[in-house]
Amino acid sequence: MPRILITGCSSGFGQAIAARFLDQGWEVIATMRRPSAKGLPASDRLRVLPLDVTDPESITSAIAKAGQINALVNNAGVGMLNVLEGAEITKARDLFEINVLGAMAMTRAVMPAMRERQTGVIVNISSSVTLRPLPALSIYTASKAALNAFTESFALEAAEFGVRARLVLPGRAKATSFGKNAVARMGMDIPEAYGLFVQAYFQSLQSVTEKTEVSDVAQAVWRAVTDEAAPMKLPAGTDAETWFREEGIPVE
Ligand SMILES: NC(=O)c1ccc[n+]([C@@H]2O[C@H](COP(=O)([O-])OP(=O)(O)OC[C@H]3O[C@@H](n4cnc5c(N)ncnc54)[C@H](OP(=O)(O)O)[C@@H]3O)[C@@H](O)[C@H]2O)c1
């Protein structure tokens, strides 16, 4: 039975991805900072393990307990909604630790065993915001653009050993705790000088009707893991698909 390890399964996309793979008969290792099976389907193929992707000891321990895995999904991530002047650099550093270095460290931790076995797949959850410049998202977008660049370059090394790396770019999903968690962890102290500009931008988002469902992300990850011919970047959500097309990237 194939086994997948997913980071950031306490909510949102992580839970939906875990549910999808359980549904397909996979063994699922759902990892999270504070372990709880809440929100995950009951199954004897589900294991919940503690994992903080910024803590090297936590990574070593989770990988040792997980045993042989066929797929890794780097889903753990945090957002930041602010203009540069409103964002503390210590917070930006924390965000990069999770969104970029956390994914690199997890990839590095699973790679020796995948390389030895000459098989495996690593899927990194990026974002459709990397497809175009947007205000009040510069730091978050930079972190996901770094994740894209890392994944595309790493994929060339990994392919030498039969290991695949892919990116899933979800659009905007309101059903997850992403916005709430971003504000709670990164703050949202917009400087007064930018107030009207940011307010007008947020207002413009209200008219957008296309959105991403958690099931769209689970489906894109399923395809990235199981379809060897899947493209490097997969959109998740109708809004992400529209942006792919507008940027001239074929949606296969
Ligand atoms: N929602 C969207 O609109 C959207 C769009 C595009 C891309 N994304 C990306 O999709 C991924 C999942 O987001 P989501 O919408 O499902 O948001 P979410 O509900 O906030 O889930 C984020 C997950 O990441 C975990 N996490 C944060 N820091 C961690 C750390 N140091 N170690 C391990 N886990 C950590 C959180 O766990 P805790 O409960 O422990 O904090 C949570 O389980 C993220 O990478 C995000 O950037 C989201």
Give me ligand 1 centre to Cα 182, in Å. Answer: 9
Task: Give SS3 for 48.
Answer: strand
In a domain, 251, yes or no: no
The predicted-structure confidence for 122-143, as pLDDT tens digits, reads as follows 999 999 999 999 999 999 999 9
Q: Which residue has the tokens 């397909």?
A: 24
Strand ranges inside the chain, DSSP E: 3-6, 27-32, 46-50, 71-74, 120-125, 163-170, 233-236
Amino acid 10: pLDDT: 97
Which entry of 65, 144, 194, 201 is annotated as an active-site residue? Answer: 144
Buried b (16+ CB within 10 A) or exposed e, 115-144: beeeebbbbbbbbbbbbeeeebbbbbbbbb
Q: How far apart are the first and last CA of the chain?
A: 28
In a domain, 203, yes or no: yes
The predicted-structure confidence for 64-100, as pLDDT tens digits, reads as follows 999 999 999 999 999 999 999 999 999 999 999 999 9
Neighbours of 226 (CB within 10 A): 14
Which entry of 38, 140, 174, 201 is annotated as an active-site residue? Answer: 140
**177 Cα nearest atom in ligand 1:** 19
Predicted confidence (pLDDT) at residue 177 exceeds the cutoff of 90: yes
- Give the angle subtended at the CA of 60 by the CAs of 182 and 39, to the nearest 5°: 45
Amino acid 139: pLDDT: 98
Number of domains forming the structure of the chain = 1
- Write the residue with the smallest CA distance to atom 34 of ligand 1: 8
Range of the domain at 18: 3-246
Q: Are 11 and 211 in contact (CB under 8 A)?
A: no
Report d(CA 121, CA 107) in Å as an integer.
10
Task: Determine whether the shortest distance from the Cβ of 237 to ligand 1 is under 6 A.
Answer: no
Task: Give the pairing of strands 120-125 and 163-170.
Answer: parallel
In a domain, 252, yes or no: no
Beta bridge partners of 46: 28
Count Cα atoms within 13 angstroms, Cβ side, for 25. 3
Give me ligand 1 centre to Cα 98, in Å. Answer: 9
Q: Which CATH number belongs to the domain containing residue 61 in this structure? A: 3.40.50.720
**128 Cα nearest atom in ligand 1:** 6
In a domain, 52, yes or no: yes
Predicted confidence (pLDDT) at residue 219 exceeds the cutoff of 90: yes
Give me ligand 1 centre to Cα 225, in Å. Answer: 19
In a domain, 25, yes or no: yes
Amino acid 166: pLDDT: 98
Q: Which amino acid would we find at residue 98? A: I
Task: Determine whether the shortest distance from the Cβ of 181 to ligand 1 is under 6 A.
Answer: yes
Predicted confidence (pLDDT) at residue 223 exceeds the cutoff of 90: yes
Give pTM, 2 decimals.
Answer: 0.98
In a domain, 16, yes or no: yes
- Give the angle subtended at the CA of 225 by the CAs of 19 and 131, to the nearest 5°: 95
